[in-house]
Structure 1
């Protein structure tokens, strides 16, 4: 049954047939500043685009849109290194302020319609691989996309990166309604504000807790430190794409053990420090576990 309700400015869309006029797909490539607005009814890339390039899919969070700063940061970083097709899923009309509860409910519809579109792109253009980067609520949408695409093409996509997956209203949901390690061949997660805007528990094959995991040094004097910390997840990820230094994490059995002081971080010159792994774009395939990452308090944030 189709449900399409408007409560004041809060739009709830459930069980509507895809494509939806409220879900837009923008394609960027290399250094082109102007995007292609793709036709959701006819999923294909323009003839001038090399469809075999890796496909990076970016999904914003609550109150976001294609030109939201966290999304632009990541998109521009990919354009700087080149050689990627960048697909941005703009579901901003279904995620407007102050409508968080309806935005949460809309994630399933956005996930299904986006997955139908992405599956057709994969079938027609055969990109080298597909990598979804989802921020906050967008991380949970990435879960829906991963599962729907798997059912459509018969295999999991290569990778999903969750940038501080949203906590409110997702704490007790089943795995099929939120990001987890079953959604792609590799699921990596960057936690920057656990317990307020972001989920605390490990969510992927590999989970990185940045600084203390809940508050970021750059946000100490911010008027809203939790929100600032949450928004730094995409900033760190964008920097990881172009950084020559890199964000390096040190292994710990669990975030809880780190919080209670059972995982003191080694000094860089000690042997155990050499067993660190890199966080972000250049994550080594097959990485597993929980890692603690330290950053600077101002950009560039990566410490190496």
Structure 2
């Protein structure tokens, strides 16, 4: 999958160089890659009939007693989750990623540091997520159902309170969480909260609500936008939507080097900032104060007084909220005492 991405990147840069474009090259290349990549996925959309095997999706449980290694959870040992006093947090990665990705581990650790009574379950659907994007997109529906079925078993067979469940997903993982929520609704249950970190845009942008993340998939659906309109969904899709720096382009994301075309990190930098901001917000829950506003332009001039912090896991606020960030860690522009916690752990988390 990385090779496919590199090939797309090479073609895109070649197109730009040949056409003589020389301004805003970073944004232009991203758009070219997006257009080619979207075209490829639409061409193969009729070949997405492969169903992932439930056994290929693995769940690893972490808590204060199993911070580093964790325990693989299956239907046979779900009782290990029963004693959890705090929240039970599922973290779901996106396309071409895995349950051991750095950001997944960092977010898991952030929760265990700040909420030691919680349990964190990392979901690894790497095989199904590592397919061509259109196939991985279809697979997200099935994996979401697998997660939903596990949660139903926790509730019905192990007396786990649904109010303890929290689902967090990045990119395709955001839609996967939405599909899990839809599965719960089929049996008359509603998840309390889903948090989607820049949910994937290609294909899902034009699909109806029943085939993507939607505000009705949980009681609260919280969405953080950082690459809206390219690799992330554009527009409001949650009960509450956060738009970092307007939601499209993030300060500090490197310009693309035309002489280093195999370095694909800058292409996905804006998309990945969503989980970087969220990890920092969990470590410092008062730092990313966002203001309610109808547009980013108005946010720069005048807005409503209502403010909510990204990382507030109890808010029931609704609407669109905007905030700005620094170009490098710490990303928050707030200056308060909680920054000390970030300073202590930032090196450990490689933020």
TM-score w.r.t. the length of structure 2 is: 0.73
CA root-mean-square deviation: 2.3
Choose from 61, 69, 76 the match for 1:34.
69
Matched, 1:278 2:283: no
CA shift, 1:218, in A, is 2.1
Matched residues, number:
278
Q: Flag the structure with larger Rg.
A: 2
CA shift, 1:240, in A, is 0.9
Residues 1-37 of structure 1: CA deviation (Å, up to 9, x unaligned)? xxxxxx9xx99633x7xx7221111111136101110
Please name the residue that 2:280 is paired with: 239
Q: Which has the higher helix share?
A: 2
Please name the residue that 2:300 is paired with: 264
In 2 relative to 1, CA 94–197 (structure 1 residues): closer, same or farther, beyond 3 Å? Answer: same
Structure 2: any 5+ residue segments left out of the alignment?
1-43, 258-264, 335-351
In 2 relative to 1, CA 238–278 (structure 1 residues): closer, same or farther, beyond 3 Å? Answer: same
Q: For the Cα contact (< 8 Å) 1:210–1:293, is it kept in 2?
A: yes
Where in structure 2 are the equivalents of 1:132-281 lying within 5 Å? 132-152=167-187, 154-221=188-255, 224-243=265-284, 245-253=286-294, 257-258=295-296, 261-265=297-301, 274-280=305-311
Matched, 1:59 2:92: yes
In 2 relative to 1, CA 27–283 (structure 1 residues): closer, same or farther, beyond 3 Å? Answer: closer
Question: C-alpha distance in 1, partners of 2:210/2:307?
Answer: 31
Q: For the Cα contact (< 8 Å) 2:291–2:306, is it kept in 1?
A: yes
Runs of 4+ in 1 over 6 A off after TM superposition: none
- SS of 1:193 mapped into structure 2: coil
Question: C-alpha distance in 2, partners of 1:29/1:13?
Answer: 34
Matched, 1:105 2:138: yes
In 2 relative to 1, CA 265–84 (structure 1 residues): closer, same or farther, beyond 3 Å? Answer: farther
In 2 relative to 1, CA 262–274 (structure 1 residues): closer, same or farther, beyond 3 Å? Answer: closer
Question: C-alpha distance in 2, partners of 1:191/1:110?
Answer: 23
Q: Which moved more, 1:124-133 or 1:85-94?
A: 124-133
CA shift, 1:62, in A, is 0.4
- SS of 2:78 mapped into structure 1: coil
